[in-house]
Amino acid sequence: MEEKKTIFSGIQPSGGLTLGNYIGALRNWALLQNEYHSYYCVVNLHAVTVRQEPAALRRRTRETAALLMACGIDPNVSTLFIQSHVPEHAELTWALSCNTYMGELMRMTQFKDKSARHSDNINAGLFTYPVLMAADILLYMTDLVPIGADQKQHLELTRDIAQRFNGVYGDVFTVPEPLISKTGGRVMSLQEPERKMSKSDPEDTFISLVDDPDTIRRKIKRAVTDSESEIRFDPENKPGVSNLLNIISALTGESTDDICADMAGQGYGTLKTRVADVVIEALAPMQAEYKRLIGDKEYLMKVQSESAEKAAYLAQKTLRKVQKKIGFAARL
């Protein structure tokens, strides 16, 4: 019997998780967990490259873990942990930083984008962020990383770092491959449908997984469409309408062609009502489970502690191997 491969993925607790996160990643994580050894991480170390209010960060970290569980991540099947609870992430980052070139980091588009948005806080952590991401992945001898198009550059750097380290010190790291989802897709901003829906954008541009039905209807009602009236799937010329059709398709499994045929001759108001109905129905079970989980602080703390121990077991094993290869003195 073939041994299960290992996957790793992480998400920041820097804001409420969105419908885009759910469709593009989270529901796929739940589907993958029975097929692979799955390590899912709330990456709060990454979050502090941008100034955070401490109490809010602690709260969002707990809420993000609960939302992941509500979306179907089973802590009895997957290892779902908080990044800062496993200090080996930071320790390995230093070793990898000494095997990463400045030129590689300067080419990272996310550093350029975040520097432009946070020009008052262009810190060293923002610059070395991709090395921490590499450490996250390599600590668990990850075979596959579920990624979207906007993450390919970071995974390529991770592969380069792993191959360079292996070339110098011998066979240490598994070189990860991308795992491109066959389901889901990119959900775009409700107000700027040429851009991906992001939790770091203004609130009316995204649907939060915990938005109540009235808020969901209000946001979708205000979603940008166009000056025409025809409901057709045309991402280039009708990005707003196409985004709404994509949301229905992703949540119901219907093709965009069938949706358009079913709604032929109807207006954008009817389309938006249908989108809202579909989103509310899809999120209702997750929201009910989230409400139950977030009210059970003792259980969430237990899951975090046990998951951190499980993650640390493999992380420590990898780090000890790295330290021995580099030549660090062993701790007695």
Q: Catalytic residue positions?
A: 114, 196, 199
List Cα–Cα distances, 124 to 99, 112, 121, 130, 281, in angstroms. 16, 13, 9, 11, 44
Q: What token pair was written down for 295?
A: 């009210």
d(CA 184, CA 253): 10
d(CA 118, CA 121): 6
Q: With contact defined as beta carbons under 8 Å apart, do 140 and 315 qualify?
A: yes
d(CA 26, CA 78): 13
Cα 38 to the center of its chain, rounded Å? 14
18 φ, ψ (degrees, to nearest 5):
-110, 170
Residue 238's CB is within 10 A of a number of other CB atoms, namely 19
